Amino acid sequence: MLSERRHVTENTLFGASPGTPEMSSLSGKVQTVLGPVEPSKLGRTLTHEHLTMTFDCCYYPPPPCHEATSQEPIMMENLFWIQKNPYSHKENLRLNQETEAVREELLYFKAKGGGAVVENTTVGISRDVKTLKWLAEETGVHIISGAGFYVGATHSPETRAMSVEQLTDVLINEILRGADGTSIRCGVIGEIGCSWPLAESERKVLQATAHAQAQLGCPVIIHPGRNPSAPFQIIRVLQEAGVDISKTVMSHIDRTILDKKELLEFAQLGCYLEYDLFGTELLHYQFNPDIDMPNDNKRIRRVRLLVDEGYEDRILIAHDIHTKHRLMKYGGHGYSHILTNIVPKMLLRGITENALDKILIENPKQWLTFK
Ligand SMILES: [Zn+2]
């Protein structure tokens, strides 16, 4: 590992000498947008959220005859429609217009016992590290920003043309030097976007992710394509490229691996299993009509199953808020839903306080700490 690290510092960091302060100071630390912190400072952590982003890339045309509703401002009268067709309402896809509401909701999250948020917005869905830094300063919530690229459909021609080595340099640079032309540094790689089937440029980004992870000892988080085979394939690509599986999170398990047998087979691979769509209740999942999106009670039962099967050290949970309608400002559940509503229900369903502390505090801490 040491020789690999020297290789990185000498060859990719603009002539920085081996053992630069950046490098040595990250080991054993978590890197937030305000700088490295002791892992014990994080507290209860949501490992997959968005605080500012745009989701225009995933606009989904409304059902026939619903075009007018999709153009209206968000109101009480159309809120239920938006909740059921969230990706067919253009204004709903602009979370970046709600910085003030997000600031207030982060303060509420903190008041309810929250400590940290991993902000998964990557290139392609309008990452904005300056706003993340401002939110962290204003609220005192630790915010960890994501390096890398969202799904292939959002990759620029320049990104598609890059070699794995060039992509690796981009990721390392966003973690050691800063993202989006600033000196604000990312503390995790991802969410790295993958489609089904996996696009060629997505495969290269995955390989680059594994190379950067192996060199930095950093955490990684993946958005899989919407097919039960996708997470298995992604782990194979990452492992062949040298990733540390114990530092890897597979997001969106709730909508990806619904079969119990397949889930337990996937759990054996050793990555973190993230149930990160808490609060999402969809009748019709626009991105894959074959999937019946589970509700929160089903998610809780799945978490209980994984705890019973001995995977309590591998479970993470979050809401993955990425549209306006899920904010409390618009009648949504907000960033505190897990702490205020899900935790009590989990206790009622036999998930112990000890297991909950692992899921909310210890597992995020272990994952986010640089090796
Ligand atoms: Zn996400």
Mean pLDDT lowest among 9-18, 72-81, 127-136? 9-18
Structure tokens, 76: 């009480």
Structure tokens, 166: 């060039």
Q: How confident is the model at residue 18 (pLDDT cuts 50, 70, 90)?
A: very low
Among 278, 256, 210, CA closest to 49: 278
What pLDDT shows up at residue 17? 40
**Is residue 1 predicted with pLDDT exceeding 50?**
no
C-alpha of residue 163 to centroid of ligand 1, in Å: 25
- Give residue limits of the domains in the chain: 2-55+94-368, 56-92
Q: How confident is the model at residue 348 (pLDDT cuts 50, 70, 90)?
A: very high
| Binding residue ranges | 48, 50, 191, 223, 252, 320
C-alpha of residue 242 to centroid of ligand 1, in Å: 24
| Binding residue ranges for a divalent metal cation | 48, 50, 191, 223, 252, 320
What pLDDT shows up at residue 217? 97
Instruction: Tell me the average pLDDT across 154-169.
Output: 98
What pLDDT shows up at residue 8? 46
Q: What is the CATH number of domain 2-55+94-368?
A: 3.20.20.140
Instruction: Tell me the average pLDDT across 183-203.
Output: 98
C-alpha of residue 48 to centroid of ligand 1, in Å: 6
Assign residue 337 a region: left if phi > 0, alpha if psi is -120 to 50, beta otherwise? alpha
C-alpha of residue 224 to centroid of ligand 1, in Å: 10
Q: Give me the chain's average pLDDT, please.
A: 94
C-alpha of residue 7 to centroid of ligand 1, in Å: 32
What pLDDT digit, counting tens, does each position of 256-267 carry? 999 999 999 999
Instruction: Tell me the average pLDDT across 335-342.
Output: 98
Instruction: Tell me the average pLDDT across 88-114.
Output: 98
C-alpha of residue 281 to centroid of ligand 1, in Å: 16
C-alpha of residue 257 to centroid of ligand 1, in Å: 17
**Predicted TM-score of the model (pTM):** 0.94
Structure tokens, 352: 């112990």
C-alpha of residue 50 to centroid of ligand 1, in Å: 6
Instruction: Tell me the average pLDDT across 332-356.
Output: 98
Cβ-contact 39, 30 below 8 angstroms: yes
What pLDDT shows up at residue 5? 46
What pLDDT digit, counting tens, does each position of 137-160 carry? 999 999 999 999 999 999 999 999
**Is residue 243 predicted with pLDDT exceeding 90?**
yes
C-alpha of residue 223 to centroid of ligand 1, in Å: 7
Q: How confident is the model at residue 300 (pLDDT cuts 50, 70, 90)?
A: very high
Q: How confident is the model at residue 25 (pLDDT cuts 50, 70, 90)?
A: confident
What pLDDT digit, counting tens, does each position of 28-53 carry? 999 999 999 999 999 999 999 999 99
Instruction: Tell me the average pLDDT across 104-130.
Output: 98
**Is residue 10 predicted with pLDDT exceeding 50?**
no
| Residue 36: its H or E element | strand 35-37
Total length of the chain:
371
C-alpha of residue 86 to centroid of ligand 1, in Å: 15
* C-alpha distance from residue 58 to each of 37, 179, 304 (Å): 35, 24, 32
C-alpha of residue 18 to centroid of ligand 1, in Å: 34
C-alpha of residue 177 to centroid of ligand 1, in Å: 24
C-alpha of residue 319 to centroid of ligand 1, in Å: 9
What pLDDT shows up at residue 23? 59
Q: In what order do the strands lie in the sheet with 220-223?
A: 44-49, 114-119, 142-147, 188-193, 220-223, 248-250, 272-275, 315-317
* C-alpha distance from residue 211 to each of 170, 181, 196, 330 (Å): 12, 23, 22, 41
C-alpha of residue 322 to centroid of ligand 1, in Å: 7
C-alpha of residue 159 to centroid of ligand 1, in Å: 20
What pLDDT shows up at residue 340? 98
